[in-house]
Structure formats: C-alpha cells, structure tokens
Amino acid sequence: MKAFRRIYDSKVRKEVNLKVMTTLIRTLHVIVKNALEHPDEPKYLRIPGGEGKKFHQNVITRKGGLEFVIALGIRKRTENGAVFWVIDPSKPNNLHALQEGLSLLSEKKGILEDRVKAATVAPQKKKIQDKIRAEVALARFQEDREDRARFDSK
C-alpha cells in the first residue's frame, strides 16, 4: 500500500487538472475492480493500449499513470503488432497488488469525486449570490430614487 500512496502523493496528486486526475483514478478503479471480479474472463484482463486508445490517453500519458499501472502488476504486451496491457490475477503478488491498489483507488476516487462536485457547485453558488446582490442593489437604487423624488416634490 505504501508504494501506491507514494506514487499517488508524488505524481498523481501533483496533476494540476482535477478532471484529468479524476479520470485517471476512475479508469484504473474500473479496470482493477473488473479484473478482480472477473479473473477468468479475458476481456477484463487485456486492455487495448496503443497510442490513440482511451487507456493510453487517460492513464499511461498522465502523471503517475504508468507508475501506478506497473505497481498494480499490469504489463505491456505486443501481440501481432497490437499493444495490450495485461493483468494476471492468478499470480499471488499480482492479486495482492490489485487488491491493495483497488483499496487506495476507491479511497481516492471518493475524495476526488467530492472535489469535482465542490468545484462545479462553487461557481453556480457564486452566480446565484451575484444575481441576488445585483437585485438587492437595484432595489436599493430604486428606493433611493423614489425617496429623492418625494423629497424634491416637497
């Protein structure tokens, strides 16, 4: 678990873009969860990963992505010219790494999703507050105008 935390803290967490970081963690979470839940189904154990593929774009090219993948025991293979990332949960070390990795990914996924939610709510809340301030200012301006009109008419 320490290795995963070190990779997350030193690489992934330093990613400036919250959306990119969240996509990386979510993608790995789904892949690892599926591999552990379906260890006998090849479609969950072989990830297409050449350039232009979603896995390559969302994970491998991101800060800490490749390191995380390697720590999970996922290895790159080339078959008939196609690149795949292969998971082998039958090996005890890989199974343990996948389980620990999933634990950390689940924890960080929840934290990041909360941050994303807060980041999207904050601008909406500010917009509403700004609208209320503008309405209050307009109402005060109109009251002031009416008061001056009454004062001037006396």
pLDDT band at 33 (very low <50, low <70, confident <90, very high): very high
- What is the arithmetic mean of pLDDT over 14-30? 83
Q: In the predicted model, what is the mean pLDDT of the chain?
A: 84
Query: Is the per-residue pLDDT at 143 higher than 80?
Result: yes
Tens-digit pLDDT profile for residues 67-119: 889 999 999 999 888 889 999 888 888 888 899 989 989 988 888 888 888 87
Model pTM greater than 0.75?
no
pLDDT of residue 1: 61
pLDDT of residue 15: 62
Residue 58 neighbours by CB distance under 10 Å: 16
Going from the C-alpha of 69 to that of each of 16, 55, 96, 97, the distances in angstroms are 20, 11, 14, 10
Query: Is the per-residue pLDDT at 122 higher than 90?
Result: no
Query: Is the per-residue pLDDT at 138 higher than 80?
Result: yes
pLDDT band at 64 (very low <50, low <70, confident <90, very high): confident
3-state secondary structure of 82: strand
pLDDT band at 37 (very low <50, low <70, confident <90, very high): very high
| DSSP annotation string for 103-131 | HHHHHHHHHHHHHHHHHHHHHHHHHHHHH
Query: Is the per-residue pLDDT at 26 higher than 80?
Result: yes
Return the percentage of the chain with pLDDT > 70, whole number.
90
pLDDT of residue 146: 84
